[in-house]
Structure 1
């Protein structure tokens, strides 16, 4: 049964992503590895304690856990996966621009913005049980990646590009491959670079982290989501035709890579602050 679930998950996070699926497995692991290399010694020690006993006790090793449990919840085996399914994204209304209205866009804190803030508070609270803080760390590693994927701050009416069907014809699929716009951003933009995780991390770390676009926000996840929303609405992201080729991937791959770089740096900063010694 477990083998079936992981096969299902792999399919869901690559060619035909399920609603609100995040970056592909590769994308989430790249964000996690970028962050891991920027942790303070204190944060590294705390992460090691929290992840002790995990099959792969590294940030990259738990980067897709939130998607794993959601996949299990679809066959009725993980209540937390079902409860957290709305925490992977935030929907914006078409025609309303990138205006965040919490009561409308994140009712009850059930969106990626609310989830990041809630899980960060749990992680930082050393009075909470270790198991809760471990889950909070796993959620944060995943959700910080999610909020930087532009389709995770997408339109409600097409489920973040999941309903926008496309046919990709390019080097990766010369005969054509059916996918969705969300799937292109999840998978094809990174896969088409032809790099494994270590090579991709090394390449991204050769570029400096982009400067923050404005003054520090008192609610950083909101700022990150609004950045993604503005990118999602940029000219050409929704292609005028339902067929795309390598020119689309070449145009927007640098955008996706910048988002990964930012996500890694911001995740590291969030974890360093949350796991700093208590004062």
Structure 2
């Protein structure tokens, strides 16, 4: 599949399945973040995760990575209640996350990661409640590393920034969801191997969900992130595909940090 075909398909899938600003990385991207996190989890955290996953017969974090994007079809009520948990709009100039301004109701990805991680870490919660929290955490940490999930409210996270790909309509959000990754022409196993070769974060202080959102927002505000509307220049992928790769790699590392803390690592 070439880049133009992939972008058109991604845009159509996003329009048919999910509301604007509620989809990030695509299913493969979310699985990649989950697999990278598994690499960096402690043995104790992995054992705890396996115990929770076994409740529904799953074996890997990647198996649940897209669950939160499937709620709209599988559990419409929870899908509606959690729709705003996938993103936060802070890309309006300064990229400083301010809870009272950006997440006053607690309905944003930053607060959702914090709240669901707390449920996951609480041994007094039922196993089912902790499994649901694990599903949310795995997905939302992936979401917050897709730059447009911490972008601008005025264009709905790039959803209204229209692009033309091979004569068909698309948008910037769809481009970042999966179109950039599709350009490399790699299958999932090859992508995982490629991302594993990128340097990990290393022994740095753990980043908070707010830190991750601010870092994603800063990418959105870089010069050139927004291509001119209309026909997409094929050269756009040159400088930006490596950024998407790094965000997936960092997302996996940050997810491991969250799960190690929550699951006793």
Between 189-198 and 253-262, report the one with greater CA deviation.
189-198
Superposed displacement of residue 240, structure 1:
2.6
Runs (4+) of structure 1 exceeding 4 A deviation are: 13-17
CA contact (8 A) 2:11 2:174 kept: no
Q: TM-score, normalised by structure 1?
A: 0.85
Unaligned runs of 5+ residues in structure 1 are: 1-8, 169-174
For the residue of structure 2 that corresponds to 1:37, the secondary structure is helix
CA contact (8 A) 2:90 2:150 kept: yes
For the residue of structure 1 that corresponds to 2:168, the secondary structure is strand
For the residue of structure 2 that corresponds to 1:99, the secondary structure is coil
What is the match of residue 178 of structure 2? 187
CA contact (8 A) 1:70 1:84 kept: no
What is the match of residue 89 of structure 1? 87
Between 53-62 and 265-274, report the one with greater CA deviation.
53-62
Counterparts of 2:89 and 2:70, CA distance in 1: 22
For the residue of structure 2 that corresponds to 1:159, the secondary structure is coil
1:209-248 deviations in Å (ceiling 9; x for gaps): 1468xx747x711100000001001111111342213211
Alignment root-mean-square deviation, CA: 2.3
What is the match of residue 115 of structure 2? 118
Higher-helix-fraction structure: 2
What is the match of residue 52 of structure 1? 54
Superposed displacement of residue 39, structure 1:
1.8
Describe the shift of the 1:267–1:167 C-alpha distance in structure 2 as closer, same or farther (beyond 3 A): same
Counterparts of 2:179 and 2:17, CA distance in 1: 11
Quick one: which of 66, 69, 77 aligns to 1:67? 69
Greater RCO, CA 8 A, separation 6+? 2
Describe the shift of the 1:187–1:177 C-alpha distance in structure 2 as closer, same or farther (beyond 3 A): farther
Report how many aligned residue pairs link the two structures.
Answer: 255
For the residue of structure 2 that corresponds to 1:108, the secondary structure is coil
Quick one: which of 139, 143, 152 aligns to 1:142? 139
What is the match of residue 4 of structure 1? none
Quick one: which of 184, 188, 192 aligns to 1:201? 192
Unaligned runs of 5+ residues in structure 2 are: 1-9
